[in-house]
Structure 1
Amino acid sequence: MNILWDFDGTIFDTYPVFARIMKQVMEEDISEEYIYAQLKTSFTHAVKHFNLADSHIQRIIARTNETPADHFKPFKGVEDILKSANKNVIMTHSTRAEVMKILCYYGWEHYFVEIVTIDDGFPRKPHVASYEYLHNKHTIDLAIGDRLIDIIPAKELGIKTCLFQNNEEGADYYVDCYEGERWDN
């Protein structure tokens, strides 16, 4: 099975770190849980929701880039899925430097035959272009993400989809935990 993965919130539990950093930068009495909920829609949504200035955004990005890789934890069981797949690819809005910092820290970079990041110039999800590129090159069987924008392009291309820790209507499959799951055929 060839799997297209989202990165943040799908392979690695990055949103708690992002929420903590955003709270520190905003310096307002808003719970990390509430910030987390806004970030799960999208970073762009959270920026608009909290009416953040460019200076806030730049500080959030800088602090995120300065955060050690070990603060970003992989979801339990995800490595077993990566091992069982024929091919794994990533499509993420994160930068290549950030993704590689985390993957290399855990020694997981070898699990992926290709990684498409925001640096590659494709339009942001849910635009289909990056998924179409990866599908044409690697014949993707399943796309896994934690948000609807992660599966919309796959659905448009006729690829099976899986939402992780998200029960919004629209996916072919739903998984709350990777432990014990296998997608090897």
Structure 2
Amino acid sequence: MRILWDYDGTLFNTYPAYAKRMSRVLNGKVSEEACYTELKVSASHAISTFNMTPSQIEEYNRLISSISPEEMPPFEHLEEILKQAECNVIMTHKDLNGALHVLDHYDFTKYFSEIVTADHGFPRKPDPAAYEYLHYKYQIDLAIGDRELDIIPAKRLGMHTCLFQNKSELADFRLQNYKDFDRVVLL
């Protein structure tokens, strides 16, 4: 199977650390749980929802860029899927250095044929341009993400989709944990 992966919230459990920093920037006036909920829609959505000022956004970005890989662990049973896949690629809005810092820490970089990041200049999701590039280069079978935003481009291209820890009916498949991958995703 050839899989296109989202990064944050799909490969690595990053949102708790992001929510903690956003709540801190908002001086604790917004709970970590509320930040987490809005960040799961998108970072720009959370920033807009909480009316963050430019200086707060700058501080938030500074704080999240210094999060240690230990605070962003891979999801349980993920490595088993990465090892079994014929090809894995990533499409993320994260910058390449930030993505590689965590991937290298967990020795996961070796599992990916290509990592497309914000540095590559593609439009942001849900624009399908980056997905189209990866799909035609690698003949992707499945796109996995944790938000609808991650699978909308794949749906536009006719790819099978899987949402991780998200109950939206938009996806072809839904997983709560990677232990059930082979049972749920039957391509």
**Structure 1 length as normaliser, TM-score?**
0.97
Residues 86 and 184, structure 1, Cα contact 8 Å, conserved in 2: no
Cα RMSD of the aligned pairs, angstroms, is 1.2
| Corresponding position of 2:9 | 9
**Aligned partners of 1:19 and 1:49: how far apart in 2?**
14
Equivalent runs, 1:103-142 vs 2, <5 Å: 103-142=103-142
**Aligned partners of 2:171 and 2:186: how far apart in 1?**
19
Residues 85 and 184, structure 1, Cα contact 8 Å, conserved in 2: no
Query: 5+ unaligned residues in a row in structure 1: which ranges?
Result: none
Identical columns (%): 48
Deviation of residue 180 (structure 1)?
A: 4.3
**Structure 2 length as normaliser, TM-score?**
0.96
Say which SS state the counterpart of residue 90 (structure 1) adopts.
Answer: strand
| Corresponding position of 1:40 | 40
Distance 1:167 1:180, change over 3 A: closer
Equivalent runs, 1:4-153 vs 2, <5 Å: 4-153=4-153
Number of positions where the alignment pairs a residue of Structure 1 with one of Structure 2: 185
**Aligned partners of 1:75 and 1:137: how far apart in 2?**
27
Say which SS state the counterpart of residue 29 (structure 1) adopts.
Answer: coil
Query: 5+ unaligned residues in a row in structure 2: which ranges?
Result: none
**Larger CA deviation: 134-143 vs 65-74:** 65-74
**Aligned partners of 1:40 and 1:178: how far apart in 2?**
19
Distance 1:178 1:154, change over 3 A: same
Question: Post-superposition, which runs of at least 4 consecutive aligned residues in structure 1 deviate over 2 A?
Answer: 180-185
